[in-house]
Chains A and B, each alone.
Chain A
Amino acid sequence: MTEVRTDRTLSREGQAPSRPGAPAGEVRGPKWTKMAKRDALAAYGFLGPWILGLLAITAFPILASLYLSFTNYSAGGTPDWIGLGNYQRMLEDPRFWKSLQVTATYVLVSVPVLLGFALLLAVALNTGLRLMPLYRSAYYLPSLLGGSVALAVLWRRLFAQEGLVNDVLGWIGVVGPAWLSDPALALIPLMVLNVTTFGAPMVIFLAALRQVPQELYDAAAVDGAGAPRKFWSITLPQISPVVLFNAVITLIGAFQAFTSAYIVSGGTGGPVDSTLFYTLYLYQTGFNYFDFGYASALAWVLLVIIAAVTASTFIGSRRFVFYGGDSR
C-alpha cells in the first residue's frame, strides 16, 4: 500500500522485460513459435489504441511542431519556411524574456518552499499520531482543488485590496498592498497558491518516511544522536530518492502552470506582464494572435528547458541522493 516509486524504480522499469521478447525458434518447438506469434499478435491488439494515440496524438504533433517552429504560419495560411527566423525573433522579443523571467521566479521560489512544507508536514505527521490518516487527507485536499478555476477565483478575492490577506496583515499593523495591481507583487499570490498544493508530495514523503528502518534510529539513539542529527544523517539520506522524485515532478508541474495566472490576470498576464507565465504567452501567441509558427517555436524552447532542468536536477542530485539498503 505504501509502495513508493522512486526514479530508481522508474529506471529499473525501463529495462523490465524478464524474458527476451522474440520467440527463440530453435529451442522451442514449432507449436511454441506459433503460440508466441499469437501472443505477440494479441499484445499488439491490446496495445493498438495506445500505439495509435502515440503516433497520431503525441509523436506526430511533436514532430509537426518542430517543423512549424521553422516556419511563418498563421491560422488559415500556409507554412512558409523561414529557417531560424522564429528563434531569432525570440531573442529580440521582450515579452518572451519577460515570460521566462516570470516563470523562472515562480518555479525557483515556489517549488523549494512547497517541497519544504511537504517535508516538514510529512515529518510532523510521521510521529505515530493516531489521527495521522485524517490529517494527511485534510492537508492533501488543497492539492486536489488547487488547479481549479474556483480556487483562482477565490484567490482574486483573498488578495484584493480589502481581502482576507490584508485583513490579517492589518492585525499586525501592516498596511496591506494592492497585491494584484502592483507589478512588483502580483506574482506572489500565484506562488502562494502553488505552495498550498504541497499535499501530494507530502503524501509521497510520508510513504517514504514510513519505510526508513527503525533500527537506524535506534542505533543513532544509542550513539546519543538528537532529533536534528537523526534527521540530517538518517532521514534525509534514506528518503533522498523520493526527494529527487518529488522535486522533478513538482518542477515539471510548475513550469506548466496556467489556470491560476489566466484567471487571476483575466488572461492578460498583467499587470504589465508581471504574471505572464511562459505557458500563458504561448497560449496568447497561438490562440489570440494565431501565430502558430512562433507558438511552436516557443513550445519547443519550453520542451528543451524542461528537459534540461530535469536532466540537471538528476545530475546535480548524484552527490546527495543515496541509493542503499536492499529494502528499496
Chain B
Amino acid sequence: MTASATIPTPRGVASRRRRRTALVRTLVRHSLIIGGLVMLIYPLIWMFLSSFRPSKEIISSTQLWPGDSFTTENYTNGWQGVGAESFSTFFLNSFVIAGLCVVGNVIACSAAAYAFAKLEFPGKRILFAIMIGTLMLPYHVQLIPQYILFSELGWVNTFLPLVVPKFLATDAFFVFLMVQFIRGLPNELMESARLDGCGHLRTFLQILVPLSLPALGTTAVFTFIWSWNDFLTPLIYLTEPDKYTVPIGLRLFLDSTGESSYGGLFAMSVLSLIPLLGFFLAFQRTLVRGIATTGLK
C-alpha cells in the first residue's frame, strides 16, 4: 500500500484519494465531537472565569475573560458565608458526612454482597429478590415516615439520618454492584481458606476484601459523589446553619443575598464542584467502568 502510493499509478492515485477522504471524514468527526463538547462544557468554563469578576459584571455581561476587572474578592467574601457560619463549616460538614457515608457503604454493602454471592442460607432467593426490588423504589415514598422515625429518635439536626442508613446498606445499588463482582471471583480461593481453618470473617477480610478492591473503589467513589451532591436529605434534616452541608450553604447564600452577590455565589459554587472534579480526574476509569457495569449515574 505505502509503496504503491508513492508511485503515481492509477491505483496509487485512487488509494491516495481514498485515504484523503478518510482523513477528511476523521477530521469532520473529531470537530463535530469537539464542537459538541465545547457547547456542553462552555457554561462551566464561563462560571469558573466569571467567579473572578465583580458581581455586577456577572449579571450585566456574558464575556468570558475577566480582563482588567479580575478579582479574587468573590472567594474571600463568599467564604465568609452569611450570618455566623462560613463555608469552612459547610465544607467540613460535607467532608465528614461524605466520609462517613463512604465508610458505611463500603462495609455494609460488601458484607451483604458476600452473603448473597458466596454463602448459602434459607430465604436467600426471596431476600435477593427484595433487594433487587428496592433498587427501583422512589426515595420519596419513605420520606415522611423516615422523618417521623428519625425525629422520634431525636436525630433531627444531627448527621445521623444522613449517615446511619449507609451503615445499614440501604443503597441497594452498591449491594447489587458488589454481588455482581464477587460472583465472578473463583470459589476455590474461599474453599481452600475454609479448609485451612479460616472462619467466615477472616475469609471475608483477608481473601474477599483484597480481591474486591475494584468494586469497593467504585462504591466509594460513587458514594462520595452522591452524598456530596445530596440536597433533599440535608435540606430536610439539617435545620441549623452550623450543621449545613455545602449545597444547603449555597441555598442559604442564594436565598439571603439573591442577585446582589452572584460573585460570591459563583465562587462558592465553583469550590463546591472541585472535590467532584478531583474525584473525576483521579478515578475516571473506575467511574466509567462502574457506570458500564451497573448503570449508576
A residues with a Cβ closer than 8 A to B are 1-5, 10, 13-17, 19-22, 36, 39-40, 42-47, 49-54, 56-58, 60-62, 64-65, 68, 121, 124-125, 127, 129, 131, 133, 135-145, 147-150, 153-154, 157-158, 160, 162-164, 167, 196-197, 200, 203-204, 206-207, 245-246, 249, 252-253, 255-256, 258-259, 262-263, 266, 279, 282-283, 286-287, 292, 295-296, 299-300, 302-303, 306-307, 310
How many cross-chain pairs have Cβ atoms below 8 Å apart between A and B? 291
Which of B7-15, B80-88, B144-152 has 4 or more CB atoms under 8 Å from chain A? B144-152
The CA of A229 and the CA of B115, in the complex, are separated in Å by 47
Given contacts A21-B123, A50-B175, is CB(A145)–CB(B143) below 8 Å?
Answer: no
Q: Which positions 11-38 of chain B face chain A at CB distance < 8 Å? A: 26, 29-30, 32-33, 36-37
Q: What is the size, in residues, of chain B's interface with A at 8 Å between Cβ atoms? A: 100
CB-CB under 8 A from B111, the residues of chain A are 46-47, 49-50
The CA of A266 and the CA of B131, in the complex, are separated in Å by 36
**B232–A283 touching, CB < 8 Å:** yes
Q: Which positions 116-134 of chain B face chain A at CB distance < 8 Å? A: 116, 119-125, 127-132, 134
Quick one: closest A residue to B292, CB to CB? A207
The 30 listed contacts between A and B (C-beta, < 8 Å) are: A13-B132, A13-B180, A16-B183, A17-B124, A40-B121, A42-B115, A46-B114, A53-B165, A57-B170, A58-B134, A62-B141, A62-B142, A65-B143, A129-B26, A142-B44, A144-B297, A145-B273, A147-B231, A148-B273, A149-B250, A154-B47, A157-B266, A164-B43, A164-B46, A200-B291, A255-B138, A259-B247, A299-B143, A302-B138, A303-B141
**B122–A22 touching, CB < 8 Å:** yes
B residues with a Cβ closer than 8 A to A are 26, 29-30, 32-33, 36-37, 40-41, 43-44, 46-47, 58-62, 107-109, 111-112, 114-116, 119-125, 127-132, 134, 136-149, 165, 167-170, 175-176, 179-180, 183, 199-201, 204, 225, 229, 231-232, 235-236, 246-247, 250-251, 254-255, 262, 265-266, 269-270, 272-273, 276, 280, 284, 287-289, 291-297
The CA of A49 and the CA of B288, in the complex, are separated in Å by 29
Report the minimum CB–CB distance from A119 to chain B (whole Å): 14
**A124–B175 touching, CB < 8 Å:** no
**A60–B60 touching, CB < 8 Å:** no
The CA of A138 and the CA of B254, in the complex, are separated in Å by 29
Report the minimum CB–CB distance from A170 to chain B (whole Å): 10
Report the minimum CB–CB distance from B218 to chain A (whole Å): 12
CB-CB under 8 A from B265, the residues of chain A are 153
Mostly, the B contact residues are helix
CB-CB under 8 A from A57, the residues of chain B are 142, 146, 165, 168, 170
Given contacts A5-B294, A252-B138, is CB(A65)–CB(B144) below 8 Å?
Answer: yes
Report the minimum CB–CB distance from A288 to chain B (whole Å): 11
- Which of the residues A5, A20, A58, A266 comes within 8 Å of B142, measured between beta carbons? A58
- Which of the residues B109, B236, B266 comes within 8 Å of A153, measured between beta carbons? B266
Given contacts A46-B111, A62-B141, is CB(A306)–CB(B280) below 8 Å?
Answer: no
**B295–A141 touching, CB < 8 Å:** no
